């Protein structure tokens, strides 16, 4: 079954995709360095589910429900450091592995089942991944065919050099599809990326039914850009780990809304150089401004009664594979 324009703005479809695609996949939620020390607690969203990441005293990472088992308030907002999870409402307290530790003035109440639900969590290449369902192949198994291009050992050494946060009124697939083809370099990025990596010379035929890989010609100074989209939400662009990696951390929150962080990952010596990082951030900011223009207009066009998802170029081979994968949830 093919996707339709309605699949990019309909609440029923978004809810189904959250259940059948986003919740049932490994989703990258942060870097391990952001969850480094014992007592770190970090609130994230996986689809529409609030999740709390923690690191306990023995170094184990946990993914827990971020909703108190008493009156359903979210427990943590943002990032905190504490030796326990304490509800701000009635001071129910949980251990860092989610077990209930204390519930004031609840004598005689049945507190069975009041531990926080736990979700699958894994670390790979310096990223923390979460899945809301168990039983998936490990993230290492899933990404094993990409080890030649995405060496987890090299990726693990990278550090956050800069980050930019955006809120966009787009369906999550609009951004994934824009990221997953370089055909648009000839139009949207005619004054920037097109000079470095001409869109007409890119190759996405090596993509599979689980990810998009786009190969670009080698620029004598900028190197050979590779772009990856591991379905559904692992979006990376790199000219080699020694030069750095750009990670688009994408969090869909509604049919036509996403939260986006563009995060620059670099070798430690570069990541700690503020002038270098400001130059890199400014370059990525300018490119994203060009993407904002076209993605805003795509989302508007998808709501038109005249909207169609037309034929795709061979340069968009990965987009065809992505739509086939998504369509499995949209029947």
Largest CA distance in the chain: 73
pLDDT digits (tens, 9 = 90+) for 54-98: 999 999 999 999 999 999 999 999 999 999 999 999 999 999 999
Claim: this prediction has a pTM higher than 0.75: yes
Say which residues have a Cβ less than 8 Å from residue 279's Cβ, sequence separation at least 6: none
Give dist(CA 16, CA 153) in Å, integer. Answer: 35
Enumerate residues 6+ apart whose C-beta is below 8 A from 257.
167, 168, 169, 170
Rounded distance, CA 327 to CA 2, Å?
A: 6
Provide the pLDDT for residue 147.
85
Give alpha helix (H) positions in the chain.
11-17, 139-143, 152-156, 172-179, 193-196, 268-271, 274-302, 317-327
**CA–CA dist 38, 227 (Å, integer):** 34
Residue 73 near residue 61, CB atoms below 8 Å: no
Beta bridge partners of 213: 228
What are the pLDDT tens digits along the chain (331 aa)?
A: 689 999 999 999 999 999 999 999 999 999 999 999 999 999 999 989 999 999 999 999 999 999 999 999 999 999 999 999 999 999 999 999 999 999 999 999 999 999 999 999 999 999 999 999 989 999 999 999 888 889 999 999 999 999 999 999 999 999 999 999 999 999 999 999 999 999 999 999 888 999 999 999 999 999 999 999 999 999 999 998 899 999 999 999 999 999 999 999 999 999 999 999 999 999 999 999 999 999 999 999 999 999 999 999 999 999 999 999 999 877 6
| Token couple for 124 | 């790979």
């Amino acid at each position: 079954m093919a996707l339709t324009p309605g699949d990019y703005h309909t609440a029923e479809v978004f809810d189904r995709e959250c259940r059948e695609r986003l919740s049932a996949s490994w989703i990258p939620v942060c870097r391990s360095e952001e969850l480094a020390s014992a007592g770190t607690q970090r609130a994230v969203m996986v689809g529409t589910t609030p999740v709390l990441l923690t690191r306990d005293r023995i170094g184990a990472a946990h993914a827990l429900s971020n909703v108190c088992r008493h009156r359903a308030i979210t427990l943590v907002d943002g990032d905190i450091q504490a030796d326990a999870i304490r509800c701000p409402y009635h001071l129910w307290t949980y251990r860092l592995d989610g077990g209930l530790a204390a519930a004031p003035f609840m004598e005689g109440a049945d507190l069975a089942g009041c531990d926080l639900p736990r979700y699958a969590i894994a670390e790979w290449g310096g990223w923390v991944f979460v899945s809301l369902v168990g039983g998936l192949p490990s993230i290492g198994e899933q990404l094993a065919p990409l080890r030649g291009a995405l060496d987890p050992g090299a990726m693990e050494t990278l550090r956050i050099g800069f980050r930019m946060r955006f809120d966009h009124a787009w369906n999550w697939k609009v951004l994934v599809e824009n990221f997953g083809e370089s055909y648009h370099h000839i139009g949207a990025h005619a004054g920037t990326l097109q000079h470095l990596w001409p869109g007409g010379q890119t190759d996405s035929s090596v993509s599979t039914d689980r990810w998009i890989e786009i190969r670009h010609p080698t620029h004598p100074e900028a190197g050979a850009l590779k772009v990856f989209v591991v379905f559904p939400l692992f979006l990376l662009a790199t000219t080699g780990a020694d030069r750095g990696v750009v990670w688009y951390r994408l969090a869909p929150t509604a049919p036509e809304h996403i939260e986006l962080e563009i995060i620059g990952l670099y070798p430690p010596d570069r990541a700690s150089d503020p002038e270098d990082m400001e130059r890199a951030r400014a370059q990525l900011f300018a490119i994203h401004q060009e993407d904002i223009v076209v993605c805003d207009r795509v989302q508007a066009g998808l709501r038109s009664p005249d909207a169609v998802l037309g034929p795709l170029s061979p340069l968009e081979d990965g987009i065809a594979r992505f739509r086939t994968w998504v369509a499995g949830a949209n029947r």
